[in-house]
Chain A
């Protein structure tokens, strides 16, 4: 299997994309910001189409739009957490512009636009070239390092924003940084598994990890680990079964892990909320 170059590229890019998604996803789920991640990932699709219309590299469009929208969402909400109505309206409008761009694209150049649309919506990890794979891996590594660097203060700010800002933690800036990281992760993931499915790698592994443990660092590791396992397993599975698209295999495994943990923990569920988030926050701040 590793004799093929496209498989090696897929594993190189996929590994770091999965780690970044799992790690950033853990914070996204913890803060209840999955909808923001969802909006950013759908918007990534418009970025790719816009880049095709203008005629620049698709990645420029992806990153420009997701990072830009992350900034807008952070600016609109209090504590850099936009409310769901604002997210919904802004992202549906951006998608509406995307529809317009598809129409522009199809009237100006007849041809490959259907392929671009399908690829950005559902990804094509097997279609990454060596250069694209390397860039994706480097960006993924950057996101992982950035997330690890702000992990401690961000954790504190997420669990108890009032207490954190009393301790001088820049809560608002951290919220903005996290949204930017989510934006970067979605732009990354869109190339591999598509704008519609990248949310799966962000939400499902993290949701599973948060169900399994309330310990922060263990949870983050677990989340990244599940995302990685889904990515590796998904690529191998879709290589073995040609009619199974890689994106579906990867997301299928990630969601499977989530369903499995939620079924397994229902019986023995001792909810985190009964002990209270504030207590957990104190533990972190005292350490």
Chain B
């Protein structure tokens, strides 16, 4: 790329963006990932499983390091490690105070076991060290056609699964007791959702890096849920926000010397902050209108 420059002519900028095949690949991959992350992240935030999501995300590091050591393709390691971690976390679980504290200890143990293994793989296979930063903090360079096609396939599987199980999963997430009484297989949905989360996180971390997936997985859904309590619109909003964060991040980091991760996380943070402020202002105004001492609770107020 011959020193891309940002001009005030937006059409010209976009044209310049799309002139290179690698950038087209990055935008396609980014779009697929953002849609998946917006949908699955929405459920994750609703179920308050951010810690599990983060833990599964960092598993892509031992996955990639282990795959390099074994001479397998990196993406294979990503999906395998994330899947194993999802199952390991799914084994634990429970309700009530002790249940939650036990679960969080188990997730933490899974995470550090994975990271320690990753570090071991890395020191056994000294060649990967160059890619360590990429692995943890992501890149949009060097995404090839095969990767885009794999991502598309993963996205189709994930979205189809959620289209089938989305409704019962919503019920099971909001009120497990009622769901169980109605014959919804809550436990199976728990484990199934973690596996889906594993797939999505493995896909997302290929672009944002293992440590920064939350820019797409948590910030847009949390912003959407702060704005509206209704599931449908907030799910759509979540996807829109994720796409916005991804496209803006990719566009700007193309013209900048600074890394994608910084822009994506900053836009994610910004969207969340704005949504919170809007929600706050709205709660204030309805409060003063009705003279009540509290706005109606949104479905998933964090």
Contact = CB atoms under 8 A, between A and B. Distances in A.
Interface of A: 29-35, 37-38, 42, 83-93, 95-97, 99-100, 102-104, 107, 114, 117-118, 121-122, 194, 196-197, 199-200, 202-204, 206-207, 210-211, 243-245, 247-248, 251-252, 254-255, 258-259, 262, 271-273, 277
Contact of A32 (B100, B212, B215, B261): B100
Contacts of B48: 83-85
A255 B109 CA distance: 6
Central interface residue in B109, B113, B123, B137, by most chain A CB within 10 Å:
B109
B269 A255 contact: no
Given A89-B218, A89-B269, A248 B262 contact: no
A243 B104 contact: no
Interface of B: 45, 48-51, 53-54, 58, 94, 96-109, 111-113, 115-117, 119-120, 123-124, 129, 132-133, 136-137, 209, 211-215, 218-219, 222, 257-259, 261-266, 268-269, 272, 302
A163 B108 CA distance: 29
Given A84-B51, A277-B98, A89 B222 contact: yes
A contact face: mostly helix, strand, loop, or mixed: helix
A220 to B, nearest CB: 14
6 contacts: A93-B268, A194-B119, A199-B112, A207-B102, A207-B108, A210-B102
B contact face: mostly helix, strand, loop, or mixed: helix
Nearest to B221: A85
A184 to B, nearest CB: 18
B105 A103 contact: no
Given A100-B259, A243-B123, A252 B116 contact: yes
A262 B96 CA distance: 19
Contacts of B219: 89, 92
Contacts of A102: 133, 137, 259
Contacts of A277: 96-98
Central interface residue in A29, A92, A244, by most chain B CB within 10 Å:
A92
Nearest to A259: B109
B265 A92 contact: yes
B212 A92 contact: yes
Given A207-B105, A247-B116, 20 more contacts: A29-B104, A37-B108, A85-B48, A88-B54, A92-B214, A92-B215, A92-B219, A93-B268, A95-B261, A99-B212, A99-B261, A103-B257, A103-B262, A207-B109, A210-B102, A210-B105, A245-B119, A255-B109, A258-B105, A273-B98
Contacts of A33: 104
B217 to A, nearest CB: 8
